[in-house]
Amino acid sequence: PVIEAALVKDLGTSFEQAIPVLIAEALGSDRPAAPAALKRTLAYLSQMSPAFSLRGGTREILR
Q: List the chain domain ranges.
A: 2-54
Which pLDDT belongs to residue 44? 92
Enumerate residues 6+ apart whose C-beta is below 8 A from 24: 31, 42, 46
Enumerate residues 6+ apart whose C-beta is below 8 A from 7: none
Which pLDDT belongs to residue 9? 83
Q: Compute the distance between CA of residue 51 and CA of residue 63 in angstroms, rounded to an integer.
A: 18
Give the tens place of pLDDT for each residue, 5-63.
888 888 888 898 899 999 888 888 777 788 889 889 999 988 988 887 776 666 666 66
Judged against a pLDDT cut of 80, whether residue 4 lies above it is answered with yes
Whole-structure pTM value: 0.64
Choice between 22 and 2, residue whose per-residue pLDDT is larger: 22
